[in-house]
A and B are shown apart, each in its own frame.
Chain A
Amino acid sequence: MSIEHRDDTGARFGMWIFLYTEVILFGGLFILYAVALAKFPQQFAEASHKLNIYFGAANTLVLLASSLTIAMAITAVQRNKPKQAMVLCISTIVLAIIFLINKYFEWSAEIGHGIYPGSEHLAEMGPGITAFFNLYYFTAGLHGLHILIGGTLIGVVTVFIAKGKVNSERYTLLENSALYWHLVDLVWVFLFPLYYLIL
């Protein structure tokens, strides 16, 4: 196209619709959770107590902090402070990596106890606990994948800020990446109580 077309509102609008599709994607897993919980309330409580609440709580704090840094990055770009914005974006990425490392140790410990999808040990614990851990691994796994994607996206945006392609005049890409990051955060805000706290 020779005539450049720019529509920031349209780009944000599109992103919101995309976020909606993500909600539905996770929604399928939440439906499975709801049905399984109704079927096996006691086993779910029992299985939930096997999870390490400190890992979960730490990761919740890490993600909430990362949402703050990425939101501050937008303000920094708006105020035309690219260096500050880059520092904030990189902090977000670092927090994302901390989340994943934390997750790695948590999962390693559980897998070390013989709890993973399809394991013999899990099968011996009965259908309710199996269902809980299957859902736990798949939902948290899908969420972890989103952390990876979101982190990569923010990495790309950081490069763009460095090159001046994202600046105080034009920062929809950063806003959209931040929206995506907030969604990833928000999903965890639901996952944490459902799997660690309320049962």
Chain B
Amino acid sequence: MTHTPLKNSGFYSESPRSGILGWLLTTDHKRIGIMYLCCIIVMFIVAAILGLALRLELIAPGPTIMGAQTYNATFTVHGIIMIFLVIIPSIPATFGNLLLPIHIGARDVSFPKINLISWYCYIAGGILAIFSIFSGGGAPDTGWTFYVPFSTQTTTNVNLAVMGAFMLGFSSILTGLNFVTTIHRLRAKGMGWGRLPLFVWTLYSTAWIQVLATPMLGITLVLVLLERVFGAGLFDAARGGDPILYQHLFWIYSHPAVYIMILPAMGVISEIIPTFSRKPLFGYWAMAISSLAIAFAGSLVWAHHMYASGMSDFAILIFSFLTFVVAIPSAIKVFNWVATLYKGSIQLAPPMLFALAFIFQFAIGGLGGLALGAAASDIHLTDTTFVVGHFHYVMFGGTGFAFFAALHYWLPKFTGRMYNHKIAVISWGLMFVGFNVTYMSMQAVGIMGMPRRYYDYLPEFQTLNVVATIGSWVLAVSLAIMFINLWNGIRRGAPVGKNPWGGATLEWTIPSPPPLENFGEEDPIVTKGPYDYKGVVADEY
């Protein structure tokens, strides 16, 4: 590839302030999105290395590279970083910020300054979380769920980690608040609710969950902190408290939080599939409403994490039923994506491959979720590595792959350069194989009865653990190839025009990278739907 300079550098060169301050004090949604993207990818790499270390430890029974305490701390920090610093903000905070205003024809979000504050909250939370590893009584070892009574008694540095998670929650609330207001107030002329891209619909549903559920996590974490500081005993049965209540309060947030993680990913897939099938999305309203339905129903199922905690059988029955209800809107989405593919003119570009892998893996993860949602099978499967495998299927195989799909789909838009497709396809193939080998083995060994969160295991589990560890190396190699390829694309790739993929949403009508004010002097007037491909032609690059 030869190095060709870009014709325009868009928002990268237009800023009221120059240099680093132009970034640190910016209120431009695109710059904030890029800042989120950089931080999240750094955090992802850190936590992925921890995950790789966990898998390496499990290559043989007994301590291989670390002992019990280090293992506990490693999986805790892996979880905290991946959940609170990577997956929750991944798609909404990066691509939501980059795209939401452009998708609805606005110049920025409703509260640009609050948007910047939310980035600083994210940074503060990240710094606290990282400090907690190296200071105080050592890295937290409670698991990312901070379950009491252990979290109120352990001598490790839970305090800082909890404060970090609290700050990250605050950042998430501010982003959600901003998005809801933006979608209500700043849609361009002609951008009715029926013309919103599905990505905006999913961001809208996500933003509501962020606003409604996150404060519950905030108060719960504050209470854990107060327990540790004052020794009050609100979650201590001996002093009139109730440890099970902690689990309720925690999951009232943290179960909806998994929909914060997966809904925007579904939005990304709903953008990519129609573009590369050259067909309008099948069942627009079903897709839009099912996003809201997932957000709503998903808020009512939290106690399915607690079947083994000693709830009443009646409560288990209710929560099991509600859990099954969530499967309906999720299945609507899967069927509609497949129906969109049907008789489409499918083009297997890298974003599309990631999107197809998403559908495959999300379906496996989702069905595994039903096995866990049914009380009878959950009693057998709970606290085994099946749960870990299931969670990675939906979060990594789902949201992670959707995030990578979004990177391959939209990075050319925001950097103005295209990556190498052949290498992208190779990295996708390796990732698909590595991912499924790793986590399918974990699910299988979990069904055999291997408990999660142990650094040691019985010898009969070794074969599958070795397979999973080898899979994790393939996965790591593929991730390295993908990131290097994307980086090379950003630095030296061929310049792209406005619309390299032939998309019909508004971002493809403006230059790559977009200018500071997105649409120039005139506000856009929207005259057609987001998946109306008539007359839309992809640019050559």
Is A55 in contact with chain B by the CB < 8 A criterion?
no
Per-residue B-contact encoding for A21-53, CB less than 8 Å = 1, 0 else: 110111111011001100110010000000000
Known contacts A35-B245, A118-B232; A138 and B181 CB within 8 A of each other: no
Nearest CB of chain B from residue A115's CB, rounded to whole Å = 12
Is B34 in contact with chain A by the CB < 8 A criterion?
no
Per-residue A-contact encoding for B71-114, CB less than 8 Å = 1, 0 else: 00000000000000000000000000000000000011011101
Task: Name which residue of chain B comes closest to A123, CB basis.
Answer: B239
Known contacts A14-B110, A14-B178; A134 and B245 CB within 8 A of each other: no
A158 to B184, CA, bound (A): 30
Nearest CB of chain A from residue B53's CB, rounded to whole Å = 35
Is B173 in contact with chain A by the CB < 8 A criterion?
yes
Whether A134 contacts B234 by the Cβ 8 Å rule is yes
Q: Which of A2-10, A102-110, A180-188, A189-197 contacts B (4 or more CB under 8 A)?
A: A2-10
Is B215 in contact with chain A by the CB < 8 A criterion?
yes
Total residues of chain B contacting the partner, CB 8 A: 43
| Contacting residues, chain A, for B27 (C-beta < 8 A) | 1
Tell me the B144-192 residues at the A interface (CB within 8 Å). 173, 177-178, 180-181, 184-186
Is B52 in contact with chain A by the CB < 8 A criterion?
no
Task: Name which residue of chain A comes closest to B111, CB basis.
Answer: A14
Whether B245 contacts A10 by the Cβ 8 Å rule is no
Is A135 in contact with chain B by the CB < 8 A criterion?
yes
| Contacting residues, chain A, for B220 (C-beta < 8 A) | 28
| Contacting residues, chain B, for A155 (C-beta < 8 A) | none
Is A130 in contact with chain B by the CB < 8 A criterion?
yes
A184 to B522, CA, bound (A): 43
Is B266 in contact with chain A by the CB < 8 A criterion?
no
Is A127 in contact with chain B by the CB < 8 A criterion?
yes
Known contacts A35-B245, A117-B230, A134-B234; A18 and B108 CB within 8 A of each other: no
A-B contact count (CB 8 A): 123
Task: Name which residue of chain B comes closest to A127, CB basis.
Answer: B240
| Contacting residues, chain A, for B211 (C-beta < 8 A) | 17, 20-21
Tell me the B219-254 residues at the A interface (CB within 8 Å). 219-220, 222-223, 226, 230-234, 237-242, 245, 248-249
* Top 10 closest pairs, chain A to chain B, by CB: A131-B240, A127-B240, A28-B219, A117-B232, A24-B215, A118-B231, A10-B185, A25-B215, A117-B230, A21-B215
Q: List 13 A-B contacts (CB under 8 A).
A: A3-B107, A7-B110, A14-B114, A17-B211, A21-B215, A25-B218, A27-B219, A28-B249, A39-B242, A118-B233, A127-B237, A130-B233, A134-B234
Q: Which residues in B have some Cβ–Cβ distance to A below 8 Å?
A: 27-28, 107-108, 110-112, 114, 173, 177-178, 180-181, 184-186, 211-216, 218-220, 222-223, 226, 230-234, 237-242, 245, 248-249, 517
Given contacts A13-B181, A14-B110, A138-B226, 19 further A-B contacts (CB under 8 A): A1-B517, A10-B181, A10-B184, A13-B185, A14-B177, A20-B211, A21-B173, A21-B211, A24-B213, A31-B245, A32-B234, A117-B230, A118-B231, A118-B232, A127-B237, A127-B240, A128-B240, A134-B233, A142-B222
